[in-house]
Amino acid sequence: MKCDIILSGVGGQGILSIAAAIGLAAVDNHLFLKQSEVHGMSQRGGDVQSHLRISDRPVASDLIPHGKADLIISMEPMEALRYLPWLSETGWLVTSSNPYVNIPDYPPVDKLLTEIKEVKNYMIIDSDAMAKEAGSLKVGNMVLLGVASRFINLPVISIENAVRKLFKDKGDEIIAINLKALKSGMDFRR
Amino acid sequence: MQRLFLLGDEAIALGGIDAGMSGMYAYPGTPSTEIMEYVQRFPEAVERDIHREWSCNEKTALEAALGMSYTGKRAMAAMKHVGLNVAADAFINSAITGVNGGLIVVAADDPSMHSSQNEQDSRFYGKFSYVPVFEPSSQQEAYDMVFDAFDLSEKLRLPVLMRITTRLAHSRSAVLRKHPHPQKKINLPADPRQFVLLPAIARKKYRSLLSAYESLKYDNRINKFNIFRDGINRKLGVIACGIAYNYLIENLPDHDPDFPVLKIAAYPFPPDIIRDITERCEEILVLEEGYPVVEELLRGILDDNLKVLGRLDGTLPRDGELNPSIVAKALGMSAKPLRKVPEIVKPRPPSFCKGCGHSDTFQAIMEALKMFSTEGVFSDIGCYTLAALPPYNIINSCVDMGASVTMAVGAADAGLFPSVAVIGDSTFTHSGMTGLLDAVMKNSPVTIIISDNSTTGMTGGQKSHATGRLVSICSGLGVDPGHIRQITPLRKNHDENVRIMTEEFGYRGVSVIISSRECIQTALRRKKSETAGTTSKKDE
């Protein structure tokens, strides 16, 4: 088993929480993993990405080779497209449809969605709406994790436990909202 | 033993804690910051009361670490690559004094300049100062090497340089802990002159350093990390240094090379291990992050008796970091055509956070400068460097820590008026204070704006040594208290701030404007932790 995942978004959107949840679930299943993160200048509203690699044999490179990612999970539609050179022919692109506009020349969203639909395997999710439904706009990342989890060969219970562990210091209410968002993503059907 | 999921930076920090280190010394700098941060928050480091306060700059950090080593205790100093330039005087001389307790200097290089002004290769400092260099390829190796590096440092009484690059610093993987060692007790150097580099003593010590460096090549603590593996396919042999080894292995079926591979993770290495591979193979490909250090050694100046492939002949790009795809190409593997990034995808450069005080400071500067012929300001390293980008475009320099002040002084010497510098609070106490004293000594007509957000912002909000001290520092250095102005960069104060700046820009002497408002990020974190009633936890 191996799953190479690119997580993308804008600094502050919570991609590292997605990475941490998958990472904890992978450790729970005795898998090998490497996860490269972006720290520093780009975190100030710039584009950020994380390479997360899980496998049942040791992982060599901290970076995913071009054309080898099994999955892109993007918090944002334009950022989803930025990492297409990494996506394998059979890979899935899971992205939020909600744009994060902090540059003057941000392209029209419908054009971005048209480009995303050019990819063979994609899922576009209105994660803001589903996060709001779950109780907080902040849990859009868990919605996307829920949607993407069907492409990651990890037991549902492991991912749920990872989310519980990740937010254990934040209180029961926060955990419940995050789990609700995760579940709504898992239940999502195109 | 316990398994932890750690960044390369954190693995080094934990290695230090478990190897009995008594002090970590550092100034924040991407990609090295998380080394100190891990020591600061790791419960066992707190229990053992390991020193974990930030230093003013990398030079003070390294000197303090050397002072701890003087007492016989183990110490580590961590910095980004350019920080080692700041600490270079101390570093190079520490090789000549030698150490007492083990001393490790960690330099985190940033090839491709993700968050830096250059991509200098710290391995050069190893050769320059004649100290051993360790270059781990994985988080586990980084952790394990710290133990060996401390042992080697004490055995040879030399500092050890540990070089990592961004991708290891900021990548997580599992690390298996070893049994922690106790800290060392105070045990002062047997030779009271060891650290006295009077020329007569220094000459003697330098000669012993030179011979120690030769013996290093045959030390098992170096050579156990340099591993040669023979292979049946001997057309091409590969020498891979540090993390580049991972990119090589990634590309091979079953991660198993059928050709000779020499992995280098410690320097200096003896000629024999190089001969092992060069004598077997027709061609040698050298994979290394940063400068072509090993490649140039192999080629020699005549570059004529060995077929070497690498950065210098175009097999690999001359600059920038490596990755698995670049290495695949160098190995001659055919690549499938990749998907392209659609043209509608636009760059998304970093920008000021919404509500950032720096942006209000720059709005006022831009307006005040309109009344003068000078266009733009000298600036420095920090979040405020983002004012070089639209819509501000107001910064004309960003060179090295503190250079805004001294470049403004030099430009004023040449007749530029007004000559204005903008520097952050933490950068000012790092390296701006001495430049301000230069200005005071000759009453240079400069205005220094300290954009004070009460933190070290760009690296994630570490404690700033300047907080609450800026007025007293500037007046202590001799700036006329009448020309030390304090403003609060808020939109409602804009007109008043422009007026004050205009007055000081027009003053033909040294003036300092301290523009203070807490960083929006640290303020948010502080409020969160106050409402939660707990100390703030580091998230992204």
Per-residue pLDDT in tens (0 to 9) along chain A, 190 residues: 999 999 999 988 889 999 999 999 998 899 999 999 887 766 778 899 999 999 999 999 999 999 999 999 999 999 999 999 999 999 999 999 999 999 999 999 999 999 999 999 999 999 999 999 999 999 999 999 999 999 999 999 999 999 999 999 999 999 999 999 999 999 999 7
Separation of alpha carbons B360 and B368, rounded Å: 12
Cβ atoms of A64 and A33 within 8 Å: the answer is no
Is B352 a member of any domain? no
CATH 3.10.300.10 fits domain A2-187: no
Q: For residue B91, what is the domain's CATH number? A: 3.40.50.970
- Residue B190's contacts (CB-CB under 8 Å, 6 or more residues apart) are none
Q: Residue B344 is nearest to which of A11, A36, A112, comparing CB atoms?
A: A112
pLDDT on residue B531? 76
User: Of the residues B201, B223, B245, which one is the last residue of a structural domain?
Assistant: B223
The DSSP call for residue B508 is S
**Residue B348 maps to a domain:** no
Residue B71, both tokens: 């007492």
Q: How many CB atoms lie within 10 A of CB B344?
A: 15
Q: Are residues B348 and A78, on separate chains, in Cβ contact within 8 Å? A: yes
Query: Does residue B351 fall inside a structural domain?
Result: no
Which residue from B341, B350, B459 is facing A85, i.e. has the nearest CB? B341
Same domain as B83, residue B213: yes
Residue B316 sits in the same domain as residue B405: no
Give pLDDT tens digits along chain B (540 positions): 788 999 999 999 999 999 999 999 999 999 999 999 999 999 999 999 999 999 999 999 999 999 999 999 999 999 999 999 999 999 999 999 999 999 999 999 999 999 999 999 999 999 999 999 999 999 999 999 999 999 999 999 999 999 999 999 999 999 999 999 999 999 999 999 999 999 999 999 999 999 999 999 999 999 999 999 999 999 999 999 999 999 999 999 899 999 999 999 999 999 999 999 999 999 999 999 999 999 999 999 888 878 999 999 999 999 999 999 999 999 999 878 889 999 999 999 888 998 999 999 999 999 999 999 999 999 999 999 999 999 999 999 999 999 999 999 999 999 999 999 999 999 999 999 999 999 999 999 999 999 999 999 999 899 999 999 999 999 999 999 999 999 999 999 999 999 999 999 999 999 999 999 999 999 988 888 887 654 444 433
Using a CB-CB cut-off of 8 Å, the residues of chain B touching A7 are none
Instruction: Please check whether residue B284 is in contact with residue B308, taking contact to mean a CB–CB distance below 8 angstroms.
Output: yes
> Which of chain B's residues have a Cβ under 8 Å away from the Cβ of A41?
30, 114-115, 350, 458
Of A82, A119, A169, the CB nearest to B537: A169
CB contact under 8 A, B328 and A111: no
Q: Do B324 and A82 touch (CB under 8 A)?
A: no
Do B246 and B214 reside in the same domain of the chain?
no
The residues with which B239 forms a beta bridge, in sequence order, are B262, B286
Helices A127-134 and A140-148, axial angle in degrees (round to 10)? 110
Residues 122-161, chain A: which have Cβ within 8 Å of B?
Answer: none
- What's the domain count of chain B? 3
Whether residue A40 and residue B349 make contact (CB cut-off 8 A), yes or no, is no
Please tell me whether residues B42 and B181 are part of one structural domain. yes
With respect to residue B529, please indicate whether it lies within any of the assigned structural domains.
Answer: no
Predicted confidence at residue A101, as pLDDT, reads 95
Note whether A39 contacts B31, CB cutoff 8 Å: yes
Does residue B242 sit in the same domain as residue B177? no
The full DSSP string for A93-106 is EEEES-----STTP
Minimal C-alpha gap between B77 and chain A (Å):
20
Q: Among partner residues A16, A35, A59, which is closest to B540 by beta-carbon distance?
A: A16
Q: According to the model, what pLDDT value does residue A172 have?
A: 94
CB-CB under 8 Å, A34 with B458: no
Contact between residue A142 and residue A100 where contact means Cβ atoms under 8 Å apart:
no
* pLDDT of the residue at A42: 66
Distance CA B137, CA B340 (A): 31
Of B314, B330, B346, the residue that ends a domain is B330
Query: Which amino acid belongs to residue A138?
Result: K
A114 touches chain B (CB under 8 A): no
Inter-chain touch A78–B324, beta carbons under 8 Å: no
Could you tell me if A95 lies within 8 Å of chain B, comparing CB atoms?
Answer: no
Contact B460 A169 (CB under 8 A): no
Contact A62 B5 (CB under 8 A): no
Whether A32 contacts chain B with CB within 8 A: yes
Alpha carbon separation from B143 to A58, B25, B135 (Å, rounded): 17, 18, 11
Residue with tokens 């954190």: B10
**C-beta atoms of A39 and B170 within 8 A:** yes
Same domain, B372 and B322: no
- CATH number of the structural domain spanning residue B247: 3.40.50.920
Does B32 map to a domain?
yes
Crossing angle between the packed helical segments B357-369 and B494-505, to the nearest 10 degrees: 50
Check residue B304 and give its pLDDT: 80
- Do B72 and B210 fall within a single domain? yes
pTM of the model: 0.96
Percent of residues, chain A, with pLDDT higher than 90: 88
The residue of chain A with its CA nearest to that of B534 is A169
* Domain match, B23 and B147 both: yes
Handedness of CA B87, B88, B92, B95 (dihedral sign): positive
Nearest CA distance, B125 vs chain A (angstrom): 24
Residue B540 has a pLDDT of 35
Contact at CB, B250 and A65, closer than 8 angstroms: yes
> Is residue B536, in this structure, part of any structural domain at all?
no
Say if residue A58 is preceded by a cis peptide, omega within 30 of 0. Answer: no
- Taking contacts as CB-CB distances below 8 angstroms, the residues of chain A near B346 are 78, 103, 105-107
* Partner-chain residue, chosen from B31, B115, B344, that has the shortest CB–CB distance to A111: B344
- Give me the pLDDT at residue A39, please: 79
- Alpha-carbon distance of B520 to B353, in angstroms, equals 7
Per domain, the residue ranges of chain A are: 2-187
Range of the domain at B238: 227-330
- Are residue B320 and residue B361 in the same domain, yes or no? no
Task: State the Cα–Cα distance between residues B247 and B269, nearest whole angstrom.
Answer: 22
Instruction: Kindly state whether residues B154 and B279 are assigned to the same domain.
Output: no
| Helix (H), strand (E) counts: chain B | 22, 19
User: B81 with B212, same domain?
Assistant: yes
Are B200 and B145 found together in one domain?
yes
Q: What is the pLDDT of residue B529?
A: 80
Work out the minimum CA distance from A22 to partner chain B, whole angstroms.
Answer: 12
* Cβ-defined contact of A44 to B342 (cutoff 8 Å): no
Top residue of B81, B112, B141, B171 to mutate, by most chain A CBs within 10 Å, is: B171
Yes or no: say if B430 and B29 are a contact pair by the CB < 8 Å rule: no
